[in-house]
């Protein structure tokens, strides 16, 4: 593990000179989410990092929003002398990489947007914002058990190993950073919706059939706003399907990167 000047913890692996792939984790997780992915991407220069206040990174230097998280990545790439990269973002990571592609288009080779929310409709939007308020008022674990049921299939949830990792990662998150980032996840979709044609790089959009927070309909809506993008729906899995079946995501990612990295 290394740290950038702003306190961002990161790992950079793979052959120098190879195309760079950045993996961006979701709310309450850490760069360890990508443990099964990094060795499978050994032909690339792979960068994983912790969002502000997550894992081993310092808390956000100011009030968190999508622009701040995009700037965190920009500053990290600048620190590492990386001019451009393919960005793979899971959940809020798929919101951050969209914001980054709009703010710093010259630094983006391609985007993979995985299990990431879009326009929820007003009723569902209120539920998510109320959930973020609960985190602010009652702490990071106030919504945890209900979240596990949304994120994992029953059999995988019963196995215990993956959910235990997720609990460990959430315990690492700075409480204030978690509350702020939960609000960004809830509210940030408002600034990403309706941005037709603002992202022009090759884009892959993936979600899982039973992801209730980042639905197949949302993925199709995201793709409809990005010219030439592709959509894939992984059968049966839920929000954290990439932990249950990494290969279901790696296979299409390899195909996408071979063409677009």
207-247 confidence digits (pLDDT tens): 999 999 999 999 999 999 999 999 999 999 999 999 999 99
Contact 120, 144 (CB under 8 A): no
What's the CA gap between 71 and 81, in Å, rounded? 15
Half-sphere exposure of 114 (CA within 13 A, CB side): 24
Rounded Cα gap, residues 23 and 46, in angstroms: 8
For the chain, domains (ranges, CATH) are: 2-260 (3.40.50.1820)
Confidence (pTM) = 0.96
3-state class percentages of the chain: helix first, strand second, coil last, to nearest 5:
50, 15, 35
Question: What are the pLDDT digits (tens) for 99-111?
Answer: 999 999 999 999 9
* pLDDT for position 130: 82
pLDDT at 97 over 80: yes
Mean pLDDT of 76-90: 98
Placement of tokens 């702020």 in the chain: 180
Angle at 157 between CA 152 and CA 161, to 5 degrees: 110
pLDDT number for residue 165: 94
Q: What is residue 138's predicted lDDT score, i.e. its pLDDT?
A: 67
């Amino acid at each position: 593990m290394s740290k950038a000047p702003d306190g961002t913890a990161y790992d950079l692996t793979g052959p120098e000179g190879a195309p760079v792939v950045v993996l961006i984790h979701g709310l309450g997780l850490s760069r360890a989410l990508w443990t099964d992915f990094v060795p499978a991407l050994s032909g690339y220069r792979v960068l994983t990092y912790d969002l502000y206040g997550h894992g081993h990174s310092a808390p956000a230097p100011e009030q968190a929003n999508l622009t701040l998280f995009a700037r965190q990545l920009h500053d990290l790439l600048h620190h590492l002398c990386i001019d451009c990269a393919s960005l793979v973002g899971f959940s809020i990571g798929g919101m951050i990489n969209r914001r980054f592609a709009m703010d710093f288009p010259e630094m983006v080779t391609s985007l993979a947007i995985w299990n990431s929310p879009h326009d929820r409709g007003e009723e569902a939007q209120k539920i998510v914002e109320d959930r973020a308020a609960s985190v602010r008022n009652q702490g990071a674990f106030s919504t945890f058990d209900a979240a596990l049921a949304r994120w994992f299939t029953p059999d995988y949830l019963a196995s215990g190993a993956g959910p235990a990792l997720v609990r460990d990662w959430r315990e690492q998150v700075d409480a204030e950073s978690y509350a702020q980032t939960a609000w960004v996840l809830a509210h940030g979709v408002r600034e990403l919706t309706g941005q037709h044609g603002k992202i022009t790089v090759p884009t892959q959009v993936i979600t899982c059939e039973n992801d209730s927070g980042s639905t197949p309909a949302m993925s199709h809506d995201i793709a409809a706003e990005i010219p030439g993008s592709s959509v894939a729906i992984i059968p049966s899995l839920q929000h954290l399907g990439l932990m249950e079946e990494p290969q279901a995501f790696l296979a299409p990612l390899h195909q996408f990167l071979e063409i677009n990295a």
